[in-house]
């Protein structure tokens, strides 16, 4: 996205995104938005800063959301994965995501662009499942 004026002082944007990245450790609901915003650290623009401010407003409206770990866990591991084939309009690469639960508690999650462009959604789904299995093992 190269629309909008470049920020005069990009260090403000970089510090804000760095703090948001740290917050994603306990707030997985922010992970995708912050990952998307962190792609523009080199040359942030005014719309990127406005989007980061929207994330801050979301955090302010939902202060008590985060990860909760149950002490009554059955220690059964479950992993779910999914893919958005047309998510990144800039690179045309699919975005893979997975989350792992130990009992009812979320213990791991990740969202990442795939390294290659897939010819079909089925091929991209297999790549997503393979990545989730690799992370699980």
Give the residue from 95, 91, 100, 92 showing the smallest Cα distance to 124: 95
Domain assignment present for residue 39? The answer is: yes
pTM of the model: 0.54
User: Residue 89 above 90 pLDDT?
Assistant: no
The answer to the question of residue 70 being in a domain is no
User: Are 56 and 81 found together in one domain?
Assistant: no
Asked if residue 1 is part of any domain, the answer here is no
pLDDT at 87: 65
* Domain total of the chain: 2
- Confidence band, pLDDT 50/70/90 cuts, at residue 40: very high
How many CB atoms neighbour CB 44 within 10 A? 22
**Is 44 found in the same domain as 85?**
no
User: How many Å apart are CA 1 and CA 73, to the nearest integer?
Assistant: 44
Same domain, yes or no: 83 and 57: no
CB 92 within 8 A of CB 117: yes
Instruction: Give the residue numbers spanning the domain of 120.
Output: 77-136
Distance (Å, whole) CA 131 – CA 96: 8
- 68 — pLDDT class (breaks 50, 70, 90): low
CA distance 43 to 14: 10
**Count of other CB atoms within 10 angstroms of residue 97:** 19
The first and second tokens of residue 56, run together, are 């801050």
Q: Mean pLDDT across the stretch 45-50? A: 93
Are 19 and 57 within one domain? yes
In a domain, 103, yes or no: yes
Average pLDDT on 17-21 reads: 93
Q: Could you write out the DSSP letters of every residue in 72-114?
A: S----EEEEEEEETT--TTT---EEEEEEEETTEEEEEEEEE-
Does residue 76 surpass a pLDDT of 90? no
């Amino acid at each position: 996205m190269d629309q909008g004026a470049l920020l005069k002082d990009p260090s403000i944007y970089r510090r804000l995104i760095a703090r948001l990245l740290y917050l994603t450790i306990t707030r997985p609901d922010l992970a995708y938005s912050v990952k998307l915003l962190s792609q523009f650290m080199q040359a942030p623009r005014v719309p990127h800063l406005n989007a980061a401010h929207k994330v801050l407003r979301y955090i302010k409206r939902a202060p008590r959301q985060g990860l909760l770990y149950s002490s009554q866990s059955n220690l059964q591991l479950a992993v779910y994965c999914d893919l958005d084939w047309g998510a990144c309009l800039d690179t045309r690469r699919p975005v893979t995501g997975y989350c792992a639960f130990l009992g009812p508690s979320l213990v791991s999650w990740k969202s990442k662009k795939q390294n290659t462009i897939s010819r079909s959604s089925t091929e991209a789904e297999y790549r997503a499942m393979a990545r989730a299995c690799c992370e699980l093992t």
